[in-house]
Amino acid sequence: METELSSRRRAILVLGMHRSGTSAVTRTINLLGVATPKTLIGASAGNQRGHWESAPIVRLNDDILAACGHSWYSRGRMKVDPIEIVRANGMWDRLRATLDSEFGGASTVVLKDPRISRLVPLYTKALEEAGYEVASILTLRNPLEVAQSIATRDKLTAAQGLKAWLRYMLDAERATRGSVRTLVAYENLLADWRGCTQRMKAQLGGDWPALTPEAAAEIDAFLSPGLRHHALQLPAFGLGRAAVCGRLYRDMAARLSDDPAATPSALATGLAKLSLAAR
């Protein structure tokens, strides 16, 4: 689906940890009138309603992360500049060519691969050079549910999943400060997608097409309660990793939902960084 939202080209990055609802957000954005990449990864046992992400971009991002000394589940801080690494390794032209091939002449596009959460400056620069204005959606989901989902799919431990969630959210939030962004909580999207997307569109700005009854029906069918396979309670207090994740999760939801220009508290981010540094 491709509908012009404004007179200028625009790219919307859907950011967030794997298993955080980024696929649901992306498909919803698509049904609201935004073009997805041409070469989408098909549905799988782990995501039966589709990933809504570009196969060549995922492959490229795995290569970029490897060149930077990371993998998709790495929890360490990025100690190199991905832009410099991509240019030095001859991948810049590949990135630009992939973006051009996947989006063609679409005026407004949505780009989702959770790995981009760790590569926001790189994609912002590449998309701006391609003539796009870049906006971002931070996708937030209960980190215990994320960790459980990752453990089921990828056989990582809960501790590994929680640390990866912290890294992805810290990187994505920090890299989008000062830019056009919004925050979408997965639970809110499932409970009230109309109210959630109305706030999202207002915060992102631009001219959005009128929602048709057909598109609304498709979104209703897509965002059924069956999408949420885990419903877990976060600790309210403590300094354990789950409690630290819960603090950052609640802090971001409270501060950024109504004011995307806000930032998480120094306490929440500080504890998150300490948790990442601990074994």
- Between 153 and 163, whose confidence is greater? 163
pLDDT digits 0-9 by tens, 5-47: 445 799 999 999 998 999 999 999 999 999 999 999 876 555 5
pLDDT digits 0-9 by tens, 219-228: 999 997 665 5
Give the pLDDT of residue 279. 75
For the chain, list the domains and their CATH numbers: 10-144+168-228 (3.40.50)
The size of the chain, in residues, is 279
Q: Tell me the average pLDDT of the chain.
A: 90
Give the pLDDT of residue 130. 92
Sheet containing strand 181-185, edge to edge, reads: 108-112, 10-15, 133-140, 181-185
- H/E stretch holding 133 reads strand 133-140
pLDDT digits 0-9 by tens, 60-107: 999 999 999 999 988 889 999 999 999 999 999 999 999 999 998 888
Instruction: Give the pair of three-digit tokens for residue 255.
Output: 């501060």
Question: How many of the other CB atoms lie within 10 Å of CB of 69?
Answer: 12
pLDDT digits 0-9 by tens, 175-208: 999 999 999 999 999 999 999 999 999 999 988 8
Q: Can you give the pTM of this predicted structure?
A: 0.91
